[in-house]
Amino acid sequence: MNKVVSAMSSSQNPHGGQEATIKALYTTMMHWGAIIVAPGYTDSSIFAGGGNPYGTSVTVDQDGKMIEDVKEAVKYQAKRTIEVAEWIKRGRQ
């Protein structure tokens, strides 16, 4: 309860349900009372990494190699999640 969370996903094809997967994960996290931090469209790295506002998602080929370069989007999403967690922590003190 009251944990800050964010989700990411991957699939083998470009329209493999990455957004739906993240939204389903968030539904479960809501049952836990989690505080969801999606990246939204708050940084240009999200657009460069495929443009998923719910969380970073990546398409991989059959060998497991990433088709999109999502490294910056992952870094941004992690940074944003940590920042929000810090805001909440300060607010509870």
pLDDT digits (tens, 9 = 90+) for 17-26: 999 999 999 9
- The kind and range of the H/E element at 75 are helix 71-92
Read off the pLDDT of residues 26-63 as tens digits, 9 standing for 90 and up: 999 999 999 999 999 999 999 888 899 999 999 988 88
CA 36 to chain CA mean position, Å:
10
| Domain boundaries along the sequence of the chain | 4-92
Give the mean model confidence (pLDDT) for residues 2-6: 95
pTM of the shown model? 0.89
Residues of the chain with pLDDT > 90, as a percent, come to 70
Residue 84: count other Cβ atoms within 10 Å of its Cβ. Answer: 15
Q: Which CATH superfamily is domain 4-92 in?
A: Flavodoxin domain (3.40.50.360)
- Binning pLDDT at 50, 70 and 90, where does residue 5 land? very high
Contact indicator for 53, 70 with CB cutoff of 8 Å: no
Residue 11 pLDDT greater than 80, yes or no: yes
- CA distances to 54, 69, 79 from 31, in Å: 18, 32, 24
